[in-house]
Amino acid sequence: MKLKSKLTAFMAVYIIALSFVPFVHDTLLAQERWIGYGIGAYQYLNQHYFVLFNEPYDGSSKPHIQVNPDFAPAARISLLEFSDWTSWVNDHNLFNEFNATARTGQRALDITYSRPEIVLHKFIEVSQDAVKVTFTSEKEFGAHVEVWRWVMTSINGLSIRDVPNPLVIQPTNRIDFTFEDERLQSTGRGSIIMSSVPSQLKIWPHEKGFNRITIDFVNSEMSFMVSGSMEAVGTPAPPWSYTLLPYVLPVIAIFVVALYLLVDKYGRTFKNRALGSSG
């Protein structure tokens, strides 16, 4: 075989082989561990949940918990988002007024928020059943935590028709909510179980539903066990999602390489014919 053919064959194999890297990673390595990426974000994926903890420059999605529906595993449906932008501890904003560092442990993602007078940890643990977000400190602290979803159709049995204005609801350690997903034509259910009853719970209506729940508590530790599921109502079309890219890239690689080989082989022949050359 000529060197040119060997080099071309090597490149073709090299390109196609490497195009499978995302697929291999997605299938074998991406599951059930905290993975850091980008400019400092973390993600965790298992069969039921995808959890994103955003990069240090962004106060949203701290974390953002998403559900992978059984009937559409590639779809990630937003379940609940904790926001540091709109959460306070001892009247100090978690995003702007604390120094935050992230580290991965054996099971949990550990976010340390520090100020001269207090050090606070936020642990995020993911299991097949739920995502547990725990705030803990050696000292007692007063917290105002906001969790968001656009939008919840009902919270603890209350719908937008019952609550046209922000409403303080009966303190409880369990919040149940429902939501809908138009793209998948399905409904979802979610729940938040807190380790103790907060001092205040408030729900905020927004257009077609509720978009946030504010939780105030005073304690040295508070955990939020978040779980959710989706039920198919109609017959949704298989959705396109970013998560399908690892399956598509090898197809693109094979197509482009095949095109190159065809042009390399026949392109010159056509050109030579046109030029009347036999070479």
Residue ranges binding other proteins (CB under 8 A):
1-4, 6-8, 11, 14-15, 18-19, 21-22, 25-26, 29-30, 35-41, 43, 55-58, 100-104, 240-242, 244-246, 248-249, 252-253, 255-257, 260, 264
User: Environment class of residue 167 by beta-carbon count within 10 Å: exposed (0-12), middle (13-18) or buried (19+)?
Assistant: middle
Residue 63: CB minimum distance to other proteins, A: 15
Residue 14: CB minimum distance to other proteins, A: 8
Kindly tell me which of 107 and 189 has the beta carbon lying closer to other proteins.
Answer: 107
Beta bridge partners, 217, equal 143
Kindly tell me which of 22 and 236 has the beta carbon lying closer to other proteins.
Answer: 22
Residue 258, helix vs strand vs coil: helix
Kindly tell me which of 7 and 168 has the beta carbon lying closer to other proteins.
Answer: 7
Residue 255: CB minimum distance to other proteins, A: 8
Half-sphere exposure (Cβ direction) of 91: Cα atoms closer than 13 Å: 0
Residue 68: CB minimum distance to other proteins, A: 16
Kindly tell me which of 7 and 233 has the beta carbon lying closer to other proteins.
Answer: 7
CB atoms near residue 219 (< 10 Å): 17
Kindly tell me which of 33 and 189 has the beta carbon lying closer to other proteins.
Answer: 33
How far is it, in rounded angstroms, from Cα 115 to Cα 111? 13
Kindly tell me which of 255 and 266 has the beta carbon lying closer to other proteins.
Answer: 255
Residue 273: CB minimum distance to other proteins, A: 20
Residue 251, helix vs strand vs coil: helix
Q: Torsion over CA of 252, 235, 158 and 199, rounded to 10 degrees?
A: -40
Residue 92: CB minimum distance to other proteins, A: 18
The alpha carbon of 176 is separated from its chain's Cα centroid by a whole number of angstroms, namely: 21
For residue 190, CA distances in Å to 5, 27, 92, 172 come to 59, 28, 29, 16
